[in-house]
Amino acid sequence: MNKIHFVDCSLVLSENEHLLILYNRQRKVFNAWFSVGCILFVCSMFFKAMHDEKIAALPLAISTFILLTGVWKLSGAGKIYFDKSAGKIYRFYKHLGYVQKLYTNPIQSVEYIEVNGNSLSIRMDNSDLILITSEKNTTTEINQLAKKISEYLSVKVISH
């Protein structure tokens, strides 16, 4: 499976006869992991002020790991270009505005669009599976996106 690094590209940015562009859905900033990281950070400051510094190191290390991981995930942005004029599919992702990767595949090697529950993928002729989205989208949103991509690429949709 070939996945754009934790980026859900389920929104249509632009569509015309030669180009279809999908982009990512922004993640929520306030979530359970962020709350746990903030609580652990505050706990480490209390431990440092009222107890030993060695006790404060563990919650500080855990909160730092959680918060840095969260920043990495929140900064992820991706786009998928279906370019008929070039005959290619361009997929790229960017993290923190610096780390960027670009993948290309020929449009002719797309066999079908695969819908499996709340995930949408493109099956290539070399058995690669390119994951477009696996986030919490409704079934109607997934089916509409699959229909749009299949009409654009002139391939069939297979649901599991």
Express each pLDDT in 112-151 by its tens digit: 999 988 888 899 888 888 888 887 778 888 889 999 999 8
Lowest mean pLDDT among 50-59, 79-88, 118-127: 50-59
Most confident of 38-42, 52-56, 82-86: 82-86
CA atoms within 13 A on the CB side of 29: 2
Average pLDDT, the chain: 85
The stretch 29-57 carries a mean pLDDT of 83
> Does 2 score more than 80 pLDDT?
no
What was the pLDDT predicted at 113?
93
Task: Give this prediction's pTM.
Answer: 0.74
Number of H helices, E strands in the chain: 3, 10
pLDDT bin (cut points 50, 70, 90) of residue 5 is low
CA trace torsion 130, 133, 96, 64 (10° rounding) = -110
> Does 21 score more than 90 pLDDT?
yes
| C-alpha distances in Å from residue 144, one per residue of 47, 80, 159 | 52, 17, 13
The stretch 90-117 carries a mean pLDDT of 87
The stretch 49-74 carries a mean pLDDT of 84
